[in-house]
Amino acid sequence: MPEGVHELPDSKFHPPMSMHCAEWRLKNKVREKLGRTVTLGRSANLTKPINGRQACHYCGPCERGCVTKSYFNAAFTTLADALATGNCTLVQNAMVYRVLTDANNRARGVLYIDRQTREPKEVFARAVVVSAQALESARILLNSANERQPSGLANSSGALGHYLMDHLWVAGGAEGDFPDLHGSASLDGPRRPDGIYVIRFRNRHDEPKYPKFLRGYGFQGGASTGFNFGAPGFGLAFKQGLREPVTRLGLAGFGEVLPRYENFVEIDRDVVDAFGIPTLKIHMGWSDNERAMIPDMAESAGEMLEAAGAKNVKPWQVHDRIPGYGIHEMGVARMGKDAKTSVLNQYQQAHDVNNLFVMDAACFTSGGCQNPTLTIMALTVRSTDYLLSEMKKGSL
């Protein structure tokens, strides 16, 4: 839903899904007492029919497939649209090894390994778009090193593989109960496919700098009414206590990780995957800036639940979260104006190879604290429009 908050830009949305009563209370009380914004998470699920796809009917879990195509999946949206044009050939079971180049250092296609036969095969094109997920895209470019670019294709800057970012995933938060908000517990009730989101409130653009750290974090979470599995007693007393519904709301922090050169990936020349392709060796750790967010996450989450009137509020923090758990890898082929310090331009086009594009989160120069998928898709649409216009002009 639109909120008019600078730290989470609005767009054109489908009608929002409903919020739980405890979520509405949190939203209203947190805005009133703390000036922070709680909103519904921006979901990849339809709430009204469009293009033959039906509205979500809350069956869950979405990751197991969606028979009504309500949940966004490339297989029955963007890929299906591409195949319908008749101008797209889908090659399945292909593990891309490297980008092929010609004598002028232009991309001319890719070499891939057939997953079933293990045979190497090649395909050729006027332009090559690598969109394999940030780490895999970096692996492809690093494995594409040649005599002219021995440190990796499109890597004259030396930035390829560096400035790796993830999110500081579920490192601090809190949960609390709302005993006055009664509801019915059910094991087969509707399953809303998204939760609530607390928009970043540290270091907002129109406020003084927060003294503890740069940038900040957001919260993901939600409320539910379930059975009281922690009821006391046994036998009949436990069964009766089990049926007493418990309404609980939890918040979990996702923190921004600053881009640092020393967080990087490189090719491990001693290890190959099942297809014979050299793998990545990953070097990444948190900085003091990220670590400073963790206790702040716990404190602020507890503060918001207290403001909403929650009982049994329990803040928590985890200091040994491992980079990569957020699975939001970003930044290893960063964009920029200067070819000496970046890999791609604003259209995700390689500075060194003008018919090579990297259209995923590898281009990010900052990770933010929000999930990156919508930004990845928006950048891809812009870059694809540019690519098509350049091809029509004959520049590529």
What share of the chain has pLDDT > 70, as a percent? 100
Assess whether pLDDT exceeds 90 at residue 197: yes
Task: Identify the burial level of 316 via C-beta atoms within 10 angstroms of its C-beta, where 0-12 means exposed, 13-18 middle and 19 or more buried.
Answer: middle
pLDDT at position 182 over 90: no
* pLDDT of residue 289 exceeding 90: yes
Instruction: Read off the pLDDT of each residue in 233-248 and give the average, rounded to a whole number.
Output: 90
> If pLDDT is split at 50, 70 and 90, which confidence band does 271 have?
very high
Mean pLDDT of 269-291: 97
Q: Is 223 a residue whose pLDDT tops 90?
A: yes
- pLDDT in the model for residue 149: 92
CB 155 within 8 A of CB 343: yes
**Statement: residue 375 has pLDDT above 90:** yes
Provide the 3-class DSSP secondary structure of residue 318: coil
pLDDT tens, position by position, 67-99: 999 999 888 899 999 999 999 999 999 999 999
Residue 39 confidence (pLDDT)? 97
In the structure, what pLDDT confidence band is assigned to residue 60 with cuts at 50, 70 and 90? confident
Whole-number pLDDT of residue 19: 94
Sign of dihedral through CA atoms 135, 140, 143, 148? negative
Q: How confident is the model at residue 126 (pLDDT cuts 50, 70, 90)?
A: very high
pLDDT tens profile 307-328: 999 999 999 999 999 999 999 9
What mean pLDDT, rounded, does the chain reach?
A: 95
CB neighbours of 264 closer than 8 A, spacing ≥ 6? 161, 162, 163, 164, 283, 284, 332
- For 168, other C-beta atoms within 10 Å of its C-beta total 26
Q: Would you tell me how many other CB atoms lie within 10 Å of the CB of residue 62?
A: 18
The arithmetic mean of pLDDT across residues 330-341, rounded, is 98
Question: How confident is the model over 34-48, as a mean pLDDT?
Answer: 94
Distances (CA, A) of 56 to 8, 49, 53, 180, 225: 24, 9, 9, 30, 21
- At residue 241, the pLDDT reads 87
Token digits of residue 73? 């999946």
Which of 394, 128, 172 has the alpha carbon at shortest distance from 292?
A: 172
Count of residues in the chain:
396
Beta bridge partners of 251: 174, 221
| pTM attached to this predicted model | 0.93
54 pLDDT above the threshold of 80: yes
Confidence of residue 248 (pLDDT cuts 50, 70, 90): very high
Give the highest mean pLDDT range of 176-190, 235-249, 288-302.
288-302
Rounded Cα distance between 386 and 288, Å, is 39
State the pLDDT at residue 240: 87
The pLDDT of 186-200, averaged and rounded, is 91
Per-residue pLDDT, averaged over 12-16, amounts to 91
Query: Percentage of the chain with pLDDT > 90?
Result: 86
Judged against a pLDDT cut of 90, whether residue 64 lies above it is answered with no
Angle (CA) 376-323-358 rounded to 5° is: 30
